[in-house]
Amino acid sequence: MSIIQTLRDRAAILVFGIIAISLIGFLVQDAFVGRTSSLFRGSTNTLGSIDGESIKRDEFEERVKSAEAQYQAQGYRVDEATRQEIYGQIWNGFINKALLESETRKLGLNFTRKELSALLFSNRAPQQFKEQFTDPQTGIYDIAAAQNAIRNLQRSKNEAQLKQVTEQLLDPISLNQLRLKFLAIYNQGVYYPKWLIEKQNTENSLISSISYTGLAYATMPDSSVKVTDADINAYIQKHKESFKQERSRSIAYVTFSAAPSSEDSATLYKKLVDLKPAFAEAKDVTTFLNKNGSKTPFYDGFLGKTRIQIPVKDSIFNLAPGQVFGPYLDGGSYVLAKLIGTKTLPDSAKARHILIATHNPRTGEEILPDSTAKRKIDSVELAIRNGASFDSLVRKYSDDKTSAVNGGELGFFPQGQMVKSFNDFCFEKNKGDKGVVKTEYGYHYIEIEDQKNFEPAYKIAYLSKPIEASVETDRAASAAATQFSANSRSQKAFDENVQKQHLNKRIADNITEMAYQVAPGLAVSRQFVKWIYENNPGDVSDPISIGDQYVVAIITGEKKEGVQDASTARFTVEPIVRNEKKGELLTQKFGKYNTIEELAAKLGQQPSTADSVRFAENYNRAFGNELLLVGASVNKNYQEKVSPPLQGSNGVYAIKVNNIGALPNAEANVEEQQKLLTNSAKGNIEQYVMTSLRDAAKIKDKRFAAGY
């Protein structure tokens, strides 16, 4: 079978997308989801650059569209939150790929086509690649078949197919191998010397007893020292790396609820009450549910009682066939439940099957004409009746390659897991029954091998309608928000109207340019973030619909990219600087002293002692988590004389070390520790390296200007 046919049979885009993702992780984590074409706007073809190398819009969008097709092929729903997260992953994938390729070029590293061939056509080939060419009868990777498939593809004149396999399979494998070569340089440099581990073990075994005294910062009122902006800026300059900030904006906002009212709920409830008799009389429940817009489609099958998980199931089980229960509340919907029928069925079944596929259900692509597939499955059934080996036929003919390697075995599966016709055969027939069933996948020859845990099963139809806001409710919320916005066009007016109307003003800080959710409690809205950045501080928004709320916001401030200013950092820095200043004043109170007892008396205290201070522990019952005292407790200089004043995190102390000893550590295995530390470091190398490269790179993000 050619590799292109393999793509068709196994949903090529999906299969190779999975291969790429599993092989190169962080580099192609963006390969699942894209954006819709309605969002592709903006005139520039450059979304940004990494060290001067542009990220082209068309390349980005091509990746996105292909990935979105993969995601949808798997049946996933892409809401705005998921979509925005994936955009970020795609962006990060481009950055990581560019950084890797840039660094490997500098180092002269590459992964050649010759190396790729040597990898693919060996038992070291990636597992996902090997699976495409594994003999189902032997379970052995057929290298010759793989070589032949790739060779035929390369000779093919179908450029689109060649491009697809190259970009989604061969290039990702090559990139992953290049990544492994690059990381190997760092991994080979990881080394923990035994002497260092032995030194750490010795230090961690230290135990001491101390005498100490001191004054806590809390003994001085905060008002006794003044922390100026100059003090805070001086601290920031000494610790710049800790106070870097992105460009961000802040807003104040109020919300007006457009959620369903009690009247909306009562109206829907009455509507379902009125529909109840007609639902009970309906002969064709599918048509009735479709006509009346049920949120829950009709599942025309039986489910065991343990599989039915709804709040009023016992009341439904007690109905006679044809009766209706409800309306009842389930989540945010009112529901009517009609019992169609009951049976006694197993809760799980075991079967094996042979599939002759007609269509790919994800893409709709025809694999085999229906008539041809039917003749083929009938021949399989006849052959088995005449004594042919099921195991032989399943390996030779079944298009379900995953189960074919296991003799067509599906194992035990619960009610409702398989598609309806397959499920009905396995649960409504009896153990030992055999036959042909048609599904959207094609034709299956099925043998029921076992059934277990028989219990009552029910077929139930649900007429479900979500409780939604009426037009009147929505209009009222919109009108209130519009009036507030019109009367609140300045900060002063905004705040005055908040108080007059007794509204809850909320604050959202640090909203970055590419954010997509402004604050917890507000639904995702990229459009809201765009409004924040397309306007100026002091501007007030018109009502913005977000989820079931209307929001009116005022832009209250902006932080520039760079290092935080004093006002921004004050909340974090002020307590630290205040304690430093208190420490200087408290140190002056210590004056001169020769013993702990002398100092304690001067400070009006009694000396304190701690007899079991372990260097390896961050907490001591005597003085809590004051790490300064833990470190000083093993300082031999303080055995000879009392320490000078020491400023810790909680106060200023003086300490006298009475004794330093060591606990036995017979369990210490230096070689095992060395191995664990080395493996741990190697496991984190990739994160450390890529973070460092990213910090050193000049990355320009122009996605906002491009309309993203």
The burial class, CB within 10 Å (0-12 / 13-18 / 19+), for 103 is middle
Dist. CA 291–CA 313, nearest whole Å: 25
Contact 16/169 with Cβ under 8 angstroms?
A: yes
For residue 150, the model assigns a pLDDT of 83
For residue 45, the model assigns a pLDDT of 84
pTM: 0.71
User: Are residues 513 and 404 both part of a single domain?
Assistant: no
**H or E element in which residue 21 lies:** helix 12-24
Predicted confidence (pLDDT) at residue 33 exceeds the cutoff of 70: no
Contact 343/474 with Cβ under 8 angstroms?
A: no
Predicted confidence (pLDDT) at residue 328 exceeds the cutoff of 90: yes
Model confidence at 73, pLDDT cuts 50, 70, 90, reads low
- Determine, yes or no, domain membership for 674: no
Q: What are phi and psi of 325, to 5 degrees?
A: -115, 140
User: Are residues 106 and 180 both part of a single domain?
Assistant: yes
Dist. CA 173–CA 112, nearest whole Å: 11
Predicted confidence (pLDDT) at residue 496 exceeds the cutoff of 90: yes
For residue 363, the model assigns a pLDDT of 61
Unique residue bearing structure tokens 């009455």: 270
Unique residue bearing structure tokens 């209009």: 475
Please give the tally of structural domains in the chain.
4
For residue 484, the model assigns a pLDDT of 97
Closest of 135, 122, 161, 126 to residue 1, by C-alpha: 135
Model confidence at 146, pLDDT cuts 50, 70, 90, reads confident
For residue 556, the model assigns a pLDDT of 97
User: Are residues 48 and 159 both part of a single domain?
Assistant: yes
Model confidence at 16, pLDDT cuts 50, 70, 90, reads very low
SS3 91: helix
Unique residue bearing structure tokens 């042909």: 436
Measure the CA dihedral 356/362/363/368, to 10°. Answer: 10
| Domain CATH code at residue 524 | 3.10.50
Predicted confidence (pLDDT) at residue 30 exceeds the cutoff of 60: no
User: Are residues 32 and 110 both part of a single domain?
Assistant: yes
Q: What's the pLDDT tens digit per position in 647-705?
A: 999 999 999 999 999 988 766 789 999 999 999 999 999 999 999 999 899 999 988 88
For residue 131, the model assigns a pLDDT of 76
User: Are residues 71 and 168 both part of a single domain?
Assistant: yes
User: Are residues 181 and 314 both part of a single domain?
Assistant: no
Dist. CA 391–CA 354, nearest whole Å: 10
Q: What's the pLDDT tens digit per position in 203-213?
A: 999 999 999 99
For residue 154, the model assigns a pLDDT of 78
User: Are residues 93 and 163 both part of a single domain?
Assistant: yes
For residue 86, the model assigns a pLDDT of 79
Predicted confidence (pLDDT) at residue 591 exceeds the cutoff of 80: yes
Cα angle: 351, vertex 352, 355; to 5 degrees:
130
Q: How far is CA 167 from the centre of its chain?
A: 25
User: Are residues 400 and 301 both part of a single domain?
Assistant: yes
Average pLDDT, the chain: 87
Average pLDDT score over residue span 464-492: 96
Average pLDDT score over residue span 276-301: 93
Cα angle: 487, vertex 490, 495; to 5 degrees:
80
**HEC per residue, 525-555:** CHHHHHHHHHCCCCCECCCEEECCEEEEEEE
CB atoms within 10 A of CB 552: 26
User: Are residues 133 and 34 both part of a single domain?
Assistant: yes
Which of these three, 559, 585, 620, is where a domain ends?
559
Dist. CA 398–CA 555, nearest whole Å: 63
Domain encompassing residue 478: 248-259+470-559
For residue 235, the model assigns a pLDDT of 97
Q: What are phi and psi of 699, to 5 degrees?
A: -110, 125
Which of these three, 466, 496, 515, is where a domain ends?
466
For residue 28, the model assigns a pLDDT of 36
Dist. CA 700–CA 329, nearest whole Å: 51
- Determine, yes or no, domain membership for 533: yes
Region class of 24: left (phi > 0), else alpha (psi between -120 and 50), else beta: alpha
Predicted confidence (pLDDT) at residue 77 exceeds the cutoff of 80: no
Which of these three, 432, 466, 500, is where a domain ends?
466
For residue 286, the model assigns a pLDDT of 93
- Determine, yes or no, domain membership for 436: yes
- Determine, yes or no, domain membership for 695: no
Selected residue with higher pLDDT from 160 and 127? 127
Average pLDDT score over residue span 80-105: 87
For residue 12, the model assigns a pLDDT of 32
Cis peptide before 327 (omega within 30 of 0): yes
- Determine, yes or no, domain membership for 677: no
- Determine, yes or no, domain membership for 192: no
Return the minimum-mean-pLDDT range out of 46-60, 135-149, 184-198, 444-458: 135-149
Model confidence at 568, pLDDT cuts 50, 70, 90, reads very high
User: Are residues 9 and 134 both part of a single domain?
Assistant: yes
Predicted confidence (pLDDT) at residue 24 exceeds the cutoff of 70: no
SS3 399: coil
| Domain CATH code at residue 401 | 3.10.50.40
Q: In the chain, count of helices (H) and strands (E)? A: 26, 19
**Tokens representing residue 51 in the block:** 């060290």
User: Are residues 455 and 324 both part of a single domain?
Assistant: yes
Dist. CA 34–CA 69, nearest whole Å: 8
For residue 290, the model assigns a pLDDT of 93
For residue 165, the model assigns a pLDDT of 80
- Determine, yes or no, domain membership for 681: no
291-309: b (≥16 Cβ within 10 Å) or e: ebebebebeebbbbeebee
Model confidence at 137, pLDDT cuts 50, 70, 90, reads low
Contacts of residue 41, defined as CB under 8 A and 6 or more positions apart, other chains included, come to 707
User: Are residues 583 and 522 both part of a single domain?
Assistant: no
- Determine, yes or no, domain membership for 496: yes
Contact 285/462 with Cβ under 8 angstroms?
A: no
The burial class, CB within 10 Å (0-12 / 13-18 / 19+), for 434 is middle
